[in-house]
Amino acid sequence: MRKCFFAGLSALYLFIAACSTTPAPIRHGGPPPPTLKPPLAISSTASVMAEQGPFQPDVDLYLCPNSTITNAFETDERYRVLNFHPVVLVDGKVVLTPVPTNNACMTSGFGHRMGRTHKGLDFRSQPPGMVYSAAPGSIREARYSSSYGNTVLIDHGQGIYTRYAHLNNIEPGVVAGLPIGFGQPLGIMGTTGNSTGIHLHFEVLTGTYSAVGSSSNLTSRNPLSFPPYMGQGGS
């Protein structure tokens, strides 16, 4: 474990490399997208110091063809989302990635969906991909629930949390109460809980975690609504 500092998103783009060997995803065919070599620590505002994992965020995000996307996203002819930022700054406090998996496309956005509010982003890939921690933090929940299935909730400090739902499994060592670094494996995307297909449901939440161990009072935020991290704020 060691304390390191994020050098800024602009510097990271110098290290873009198409290094993944995972088969091409459902989204559009062709080779996997380029990824960002991870920073030594994705955030200098991390609430804990923990070893960084192997995850490298994809530079691009694609919509899955023939999916019903609840929000309007401007894309190019290959369904690539324009103005997507692979590393964002949440409320000027915590740096994280809004897509914590590789070679995936988005099947559902944040907002109104079938008469209800969809409180996160849904991603799928083929084969189902590993899901990683979006930033350093402390694991608040690593359990099964009837709605989210196998789910992990991470506290990143300063009132910012991320949730990873419908996982096929929860990786050994991912246990409530333990610290976790950026990019550590959490589990393979799955269809546990209230789910209609294999995917990752990902949320960014803000607020105060209940003293009785409940996230019900946290507010869901659109992971794609935050500005890119450019070495400002918590740098």
DSSP H helical ranges for the chain: 9-12
Scanning the structure block, which residue is given the tokens 């490399």?
17
pLDDT by residue for the chain (235 residues), tens digit each?
434 333 443 333 333 333 333 333 444 455 676 887 655 546 455 567 788 899 999 999 998 887 667 666 788 888 899 999 999 999 988 999 999 999 999 887 766 556 676 688 999 999 999 999 999 999 999 999 999 999 999 999 999 999 999 999 999 999 999 999 999 999 999 999 998 889 999 999 999 988 666 788 898 999 998 998 876 444 4
Q: What's residue 15's pLDDT? A: 32
Which residues have a Cβ under 8 Å from the Cβ of 124 and sit 6 or more positions away? 25, 26, 64, 104, 105, 107, 189, 197, 198, 199, 200
N- to C-terminal Cα distance for the chain?
19
Which residues have a Cβ under 8 Å from the Cβ of 51 and sit 6 or more positions away? 1, 181, 184
CATH superfamily, with its number, for domain 9-225:
Glucose Permease (Domain IIA) (2.70.70.10)
Q: What's residue 8's pLDDT? A: 42
Tokens representing 212 are 């009785």
Using DSSP's 3-state secondary structure scheme, residue 11 falls into helix
pTM of the model: 0.82
